[in-house]
Amino acid sequence: MLIYMFMLVFIDASKVLPDYNDSVLYFAYGSNLYKRRMQINVPSAVFIGPAVLKDYRLDFNKYSSNWRGAAATIVEDPGNVVWGAVWSMNPGEILKLDKQEEGYFAKSVRVHTTEGFEITARTYQMFENPPKARTNFLPEDRRPSDTYLEVILMGAIESGLPAEFIQLLKTFPTNVQTAQESILTSLGYPFIGRSFKNIIPLCTIRLNITE
């Protein structure tokens, strides 16, 4: 039987963030990078800042019917890094986040902020780790939908993740599918009636990246 690890990870208020000592820290690396998405199920979420998880890689695995494509996960991989967003949230909303992350188990990880702090935060990892593959050669059954990758890219920009990591995100191929209408409606503008192709020039302009 699959058992979730219900770990409420509290902030070390004496060293890091004294104003959030009654909250839970959560490290997001997938669709929850995007504020609007994050606050659908966790309205108390407050963005703290970008952070990096060392010795892991970002990958995609397991088809999501809501997103109509593979979902993101992290996999232990020495030498690699995953950038994400740290959120502060009400401990009473943990069960809502657990429900959203069905198919994942909760775990605590040590992440490093851009200010140099090391923080223990809650995150989620799929029960099954996918085999490593080059990002631009991701197998078709492990490709995210256009919508899902766009949400991640928008969240990465919004969260201030490094340009190099956003460039890495853009190398993942998609399955050219659009998420369920319920997802698009919950995300609102610009995901309703907007093609995935529009996100590429947006990233280029905002980050001043030359392809």
Q: Residues marked as binding for substrate?
A: 26-31, 148
Yes or no: say if 109 and 120 are a contact pair by the CB < 8 Å rule.
yes
- How far, CA to CA in Å, does 37 sit from each of 81, 84, 111, 203, 209? 23, 14, 22, 19, 26
Strand 69-89 relative to strand 118-126, pairing: unpaired
Binding residue ranges: 26-31, 148
Q: Buried b vs exposed e over 91-103: b needs ≥16 C-beta within 10 Å?
A: eebbebbbebbee
Which DSSP symbol is given to 137?
A: G
Q: Would you call 101 a catalytic residue per the annotation?
A: yes
Handedness of CA 123, 128, 133, 135 (dihedral sign): negative
CB–CB of 85/159 below 8 Å?
yes
Return the structure tokens found at 40. 């659908």
Name the catalytic one among 76, 93, 101, 140: 101
Distance CA 86, CA 84 (A): 7
- Nearest Cα neighbor of 7 from 26, 22, 30, 20 is 26
| Dihedral over Cα of 170, 176, 180, 185: its sign | positive
Q: Which residues are the active-site residues? A: 101
